[in-house]
Amino acid sequence: MQIGRPQQADLHQTATSSLSTAGTQPVVITINRGYDDPQYSRKLFIDGHPGETDPGKVLSISMRAGAKAVLAYAQRLIVVEPWPSLSFNPRDCLAGQKYDEQCRGHASRQLASETAIEAVAAQDSRVATVDLDDAVCPYLPVCDPVIGGVITHIDNDHLTLAFAKALEPALDKRLIAASAYGP
């Protein structure tokens, strides 16, 4: 008995069913930074590459196949790239410091998964990427913990709800540029 197999099959069936109704509508997905950010230690595995467990390499190998699978159901794929993460929790820092500037951090570098999906997009006009790095950290590689009076991160990686709402115009503009709302 293999624990987890039925749930994985159900998840695959649910995703396939949802994608099959996409038709001419673009599919927008996000990439989670946690899978190949070097500050998180984990191994990933991919069918056909049993010896490869480096997350960046596994995700790089799988990007093309993943995009192809989605494009079997949709005419357009738009990938929102992960935004920069920090090596500390800025909310915790802000709670202990007098000035916001004391909690500035340096953004993590671009990840292998980002480079891989950008390469797919460069070779397939049906794939587009949306990069919010400059909206989340306007002074890259430095990231401020507060932008426009709003705390940016709830932890080292996740954005606060208030900041996510503040990013809506920037995201919407980039989704329009990527043809997320149609031609």
99 belongs to a structural domain = yes
In terms of Cβ atoms closer than 10 Å to its own Cβ (0-12, 13-18, 19+), residue 35 is middle
Residues of the chain with pLDDT under 70: 1-24, 33-41, 183
**For 85, phi and psi rounded to 5 degrees?**
-110, 165
29 belongs to a structural domain = yes
**What pLDDT shows up at residue 35?**
66
**What pLDDT shows up at residue 139?**
94
What range does the domain containing 32 cover?
Answer: 24-177
28 belongs to a structural domain = yes
Angle between helical axes of 112-123 and 55-71 (0-180°, round to 10): 30
46 belongs to a structural domain = yes
Number of domains in the chain: 1
114 belongs to a structural domain = yes
Rounded Cα distance between 4 and 57, Å, is 25
88 belongs to a structural domain = yes
169 belongs to a structural domain = yes
2 belongs to a structural domain = no
List, for residues 69-111, the tens digit of each pLDDT value: 999 988 899 999 988 888 889 999 999 999 999 999 988 777 7
